[in-house]
Amino acid sequence: MSTAVTVFDVGGTHIRQAWWLREGELRGRTSRPSPTFRRFPGASVAELRAMMVRELCDAVPETQDAVVGISFGAALDHRSGTVYASAPLWGGHSEPYDLRAALESRRPDVRWHLVNDVTAALLHAAAAPARRDHRKILLATISTGIACRVLDRRQGSVPVDGAGLQGEIGHLPAHAELDGRAVDLDCDCGRTGHLAAYASGPGIARMAEALRRRAPERWAASRLGALTAEGVAFETALRRALDADDALAAELLDAVTAPVADVLRTTLCLDPEIDEAVLTGGVVHGLGAHYRRALMGHLTRQGLYLTSELTPDWLERRITVTGPGEAAGLAGAGIAACAGAPA
């Protein structure tokens, strides 16, 4: 293997690229928009996929023994590299696509290593010295999409099911409420009532719009409503409103973190060997301490049966929030490529 590995982190918004040095350093980072159904609304899924393959292949220098690691934002079979679906990239389309084969066909001179983006982030987070003695580590990303992975350190693997998948929690059924009433929203995959429909970045924006329609007077009187009326981008407006202790913004954040807390509560109840649940992603980073405070509020009010009474800090000690760069898909893609493993 050459000294440096070309690495990509492909998400529903950007393709990030860098060089990964085997010593553990990223250099020459760049970013450009991903070819998605939102960016090219008139393109077919086949055309979007072809754009993606061209973007990745043409960006790899023609060097001897070229090696590429890709962190890819999609539900994929980690055994084969077949992509099943990516709602942020391709919407509701779910026809399997052999991405690795398409890359190898266009650039057979390259050794391609493909992992899911959440797996990549988990590999990087797990490499931190403070997590060396953990039995299992869960990483959940809350961003354009939502998913999680669990790494078993004792086995040295991210276990997968019969389809080569694990942790696609963004498409689990979820329940959310606004203004005291249940709300039903569509997910980017085309289904109604999934976790990502309420708690992903686009989901939170949809929840905000639903709240505006249900409580127009409260919305207009709120700091969040005023900021968005001024043309401030929603993500920025939400953070600024939370910083200003806006009650409506806090209510919205409480609503969108409730279904995430439900999933974490159930997961940690079923698998107490998970020594840490790490939260990352654009939503988490953008909202910072506000996000964790809202999430832990749910888990404090309704925790684990008996455990939360007998060991009140058990959940508190296990749920952490990363800062930018602490669970990086680019670094994880490099780690995976250097290990030569698909998962």
Q: What is the CATH number of the domain that holds 314?
A: 3.30.420.40
pLDDT of residue 94: 78
Q: What is the identity of the amino acid at 216?
A: P
- Residue 50 structural domain: 4-124+327-339
Give the pLDDT mean for 69-90. 89
Q: CB under 8 Å to 197, separation ≥6 — which residues? A: 174, 185, 186, 187, 191, 203, 206
**What is the number of domains present in the chain?**
2
Q: Do 294 and 333 belong together in one domain?
A: no
Q: Do 141 and 84 belong together in one domain?
A: no
Q: Do 57 and 20 belong together in one domain?
A: yes
Output the six-digit token pair for 291.
């996000």
> Distance from CA of residue 181 to its chain's centroid?
28
pLDDT of residue 340: 66
Measured in degrees and rounded to the nearest 5, phi and psi for residue 234 equal -55, -45
Measured in degrees and rounded to the nearest 5, phi and psi for residue 285 equal -70, -40
Q: Do 156 and 269 belong together in one domain?
A: yes
Q: Do 39 and 114 belong together in one domain?
A: yes
d(CA 34, CA 262): 31
Buried b (16+ CB within 10 A) or exposed e, 135-158: ebbbbbbbbbbbbbbbbeeeeeeb
Q: Do 38 and 64 belong together in one domain?
A: yes
In the block, residue with structure tokens 């493909």? 114
Tens digit of each residue's pLDDT (9 = 90 or more) over 166-202: 999 999 999 999 988 999 999 988 899 999 999 999 9
Tens digit of each residue's pLDDT (9 = 90 or more) over 8-58: 999 888 999 999 997 788 999 999 999 999 899 999 999 999 999 999 999
d(CA 342, CA 332): 12
User: What is the percentage of the chain residues whose pLDDT exceeds 70?
Assistant: 98
Q: Do 20 and 47 belong together in one domain?
A: yes
User: What is the percentage of the chain residues whose pLDDT exceeds 90?
Assistant: 83
Minimal CA–CA distance to 10: which of 57, 67, 46? 57
What mean pLDDT, rounded, does the chain reach?
93
Q: 2: pLDDT confidence band, cut at 50, 70 and 90?
A: low
pLDDT at 341 over 80: no
Minimal CA–CA distance to 329: which of 2, 3, 34, 37? 34
pLDDT of residue 1: 46
Go through the chain and tell me how many residues it has: 343
d(CA 173, CA 259): 9
Output the six-digit token pair for 136.
């299992």
Q: Do 140 and 231 belong together in one domain?
A: yes
Q: Do 286 and 191 belong together in one domain?
A: yes
Any bridge partners for residue 280, and if so which? 141
Output the six-digit token pair for 343.
């998962």
d(CA 240, CA 323): 19
Which of residues 322 and 341 earns the better pLDDT score?
Answer: 322
Which of residues 283 and 325 earns the better pLDDT score?
Answer: 283
Alpha carbon distances (Å) from 162 to 79, 82, 84? 10, 13, 13
Contact 121, 133 (CB under 8 A): no
Q: CB under 8 Å to 283, separation ≥6 — which residues? A: 142, 143, 199, 200, 201, 204, 291
Buried b (16+ CB within 10 A) or exposed e, 5-41: bbbbbbbbbebbbbbbeeeeebeeeeeeebbbbeeee
Q: Do 160 and 286 belong together in one domain?
A: yes
Q: Do 233 and 85 belong together in one domain?
A: no
Contact 169, 189 (CB under 8 A): no
The helix/strand/coil state of 111 is strand
d(CA 189, CA 196): 9
Q: Do 302 and 162 belong together in one domain?
A: yes
Q: CB under 8 Å to 125, separation ≥6 — which residues? A: 131, 137, 139, 278, 280, 322, 326, 327
